[in-house]
Amino acid sequence: MTTMHSIEQAKERAGINARAAEHLMKNYLDFGKCGGGRWKRYLYLDTEDFLLGSLLTREQVKVKFETCLMRDNEKYRMVMMKVSKRDETKFLKALEELPGKMLLCGYRDYETHGGELLAELEELIRADMEAHGKIRLPMGGSARVELG
């Protein structure tokens, strides 16, 4: 089990000071309700080892993995999944802990490089939303997305 103390130590070793740590990147996109409102669709950044998995297991979060998107020679994957509406709070808590786990596992650029990947994806989604009013999801269908 990861302790807050070890996460703070990892942040220090990675050069993330307390002020920067307060503004951790948002490591997911919320695609809203699906499946009659019982589920919510999220896209988040992870590694090929799917580090979020152990956090979800610990929190007992019910999810349905849909697709995994990655570029050649990229260590981070964009994972699309559905999260049970009743488990959404626990899912978001696990996502909040993921950057600390990434640091402990040696992924020091998760917040910076991962943030760049999500920003790039957000721009693509924004353009699609402006052009069509919705986006086409990789697994088919479409969704309306609220971007911050």
- Number of domains observed in the structure of the chain: 1
pLDDT in single tens digits along all 148 residues of the chain: 445 555 555 555 555 444 444 334 578 888 888 878 899 999 899 998 999 999 999 999 999 998 888 878 888 888 999 999 999 999 999 999 999 999 999 999 888 888 788 888 878 777 777 777 666 555 444 444 444 4
Residue 148: inside a domain: no
Which strands make up the sheet holding 63-69, listed edge to edge? 28-34, 39-47, 76-84, 63-69
C-alpha–C-alpha distance, residues 70 and 65, integer Å: 15
Domain that holds residue 92: 4-143
Residue 18: inside a domain: yes
pTM over 0.75: no
C-alpha–C-alpha distance, residues 116 and 103, integer Å: 17
Residue 17: inside a domain: yes
Residue 44: inside a domain: yes
Residue 28: inside a domain: yes
Residue 26: inside a domain: yes
Please return the burial class of 4, using the count of CB atoms within 10 Å of its CB with bins 0-12, 13-18 and 19+: exposed
